[in-house]
Amino acid sequence: MTDCIVLGAGMVGVSTALALQARGWSVALVDRRAPGQETSHGNAGIIQTEAAEPYAMPLALRSLARIALGRDNDVAYSLRGLLGMAPALARYARASRASGRAARGAVYSALTARAAQDHAPLIEAAGAEALIAQQGYLEVYRYPKAFAAGQAEAERLGAAYGVPSRPLDGAALAAREPALRIPMAGALHWTGPWTCSDPGGLVAAYARLFEARGGQLLTGDAASLTRAGSGWQVTTPEGRIEAPRGVVALGPWSPLLLRGFGLRVPMILKRGYHGHFAAPVMPRLPLVMADHGLVLSPMRAGLRLATGAALVGHAEASAPLQLHRGAKAVADAIDLGPRVQEAQWHGTRPCLPDMLPVLGEAPGQPGLWLHFGHGHQGFTLGPTTAALLAEAMAGGKGVPEALSPGRPGLLA
């Protein structure tokens, strides 16, 4: 008998399936695509143990004006997207105030601090060590004023949460990273994070581990989820699968499914794009180009340029302006080489208005559990929050109240 159906085979869903399986449960993992082919496939490949606070919305008037005028490559938007997400964005802005960030940081930092160690046994068991490096990444600054501000923020995070980093001046950065072709003001070396040369490949390796341990990996549409007596069922080409429990781990698509069960979940959709380049000199570490809103990550497929956030709806057409602008902006600093010929990828980060993921049983829907809303950190936090959710589903109290579906203002 199947004990649980997990919907969604990204990092969060696969990690959930593995965590429940480790408790002796029989699990069916269902997705319309192969594991790790949606948002988990396209990120910058960093397990961000240094991300002690969720990414806040810029609130300074100058920053907002630059975004509104299209002069900031960190954030883009469409009017349709802004209008559709306006109530959630207003709440996200309130949560982004300094007091809100500190309150959420107390919860969030406890999760990210353990993320690498929660990944570690899965990486080893999946035989995926070749995909992982444990040398951190560099946050690079062109301009002294921005570098000074970055150092001050790193010192704040170090004092508040014990996040390790070290500043590199321009000369030390040039010696550390020969791929950079022009002088820079400096960089912050975040030493704790682990990096991955194929994020989608790591999720696929975890999924193979799940299957090797006896799990069912099935193709199916989450929209077929319905009640089956006191439990749940989905339809797959292999037939109907029933279980007393289901987990919604569909990332940005979760609200669309839950609306059919009377649950309205406000969400900010942050679309990101990437492209690969055949760089003649590959950076030694991933480079967060702080002045241009992008990340350059050495990957199996080439040098991946990954963008910031575009606030657009699910159905809006691909418009990789941030990718093109970013490539042009860093062309003097690093030789990207020719673009690798591939279909243009984009994926969507699922951000809840209070900047924290949701873990727990859905109100009014016994046996239906929620596990989504990780924002920028689904790849980082999948195994960590999966362990907490599995404990709660087994009758424990592993989930902090701040992450529960019943927290004030989350569900309508």
List the one residue out of 83, 81, 92, 89 whose CA is nearest residue 314.
81
Q: Is the pLDDT of residue 272 over 80?
A: yes
Tell me the three-class secondary structure of 97-161, residue by residue.
CHHHHHHHHHHHHHHHCCHHHHHHHHHHHCCCHHHEECCCEEEEECCHHHHHHHHHHHHHHHHHH
Residues 159-189: b if buried by 16+ CB within 10 A, e if exposed = eebebebebbebeebbeebebbeeebbbbbb
Q: What is the pLDDT of residues 359-402, one digit of tens each?
A: 999 999 999 999 999 999 999 999 999 999 999 999 998 799 99
- List the CATH code of the domain at 1-53+97-130+198-264+354-412: 3.50.50.60
pLDDT at 58: 86
pLDDT tier for residue 412 given thresholds of 50, 70 and 90: low
Of 9-13, 72-76, 321-325, the least confident: 72-76
Give the C-alpha separation, 135 to 112, whole Å: 17
pLDDT tier for residue 131 given thresholds of 50, 70 and 90: very high
pLDDT tier for residue 17 given thresholds of 50, 70 and 90: very high
Average pLDDT, the chain: 95
* The residue type at 20: L
pLDDT at 59: 84
220 neighbors 197 (Cβ within 8 angstroms): no
Q: What is the pLDDT of residues 143-170, one digit of tens each?
A: 999 999 999 999 999 999 999 999 999 9
pLDDT tier for residue 71 given thresholds of 50, 70 and 90: confident
Q: What is the pLDDT of residues 191-247, one digit of tens each?
A: 999 999 999 999 999 999 999 999 999 999 999 999 999 999 999 998 999 999 999
3-state class percentages of the chain: helix first, strand second, coil last, to nearest 5: 35, 25, 40
pLDDT tier for residue 68 given thresholds of 50, 70 and 90: confident
The CA-based dihedral angle spanning residues 254, 259, 260, 261, taken in that order and rounded to the nearest 10 degrees: 90
CA distances, 174 to each of 79, 215, 283, 328 (Å): 41, 48, 11, 21
81 neighbors 311 (Cβ within 8 angstroms): yes
Give the C-alpha separation, 44 to 54, whole Å: 16
pLDDT at 338: 98
Q: Counting Cβ atoms within 10 Å, is residue 84 exposed (0-12), middle (13-18) or buried (19+)?
A: middle
Position with higher pLDDT, 84 vs 238: 84
Spatial neighbors of 212 by CB under 8 A, at least 6 apart, are none
Q: What is the pLDDT of residues 305-330, one digit of tens each?
A: 999 999 999 999 999 999 999 999 99
pLDDT tier for residue 38 given thresholds of 50, 70 and 90: confident
Residues 347-386: b if buried by 16+ CB within 10 A, e if exposed = bbbbbbbbbbbbbbbbeebebbbbbbbbbbbbbbbbbbbb
Q: Is the pLDDT of residue 357 over 90?
A: yes
**Average pLDDT for 77-101:** 91
286 neighbors 46 (Cβ within 8 angstroms): yes
pLDDT at 258: 97
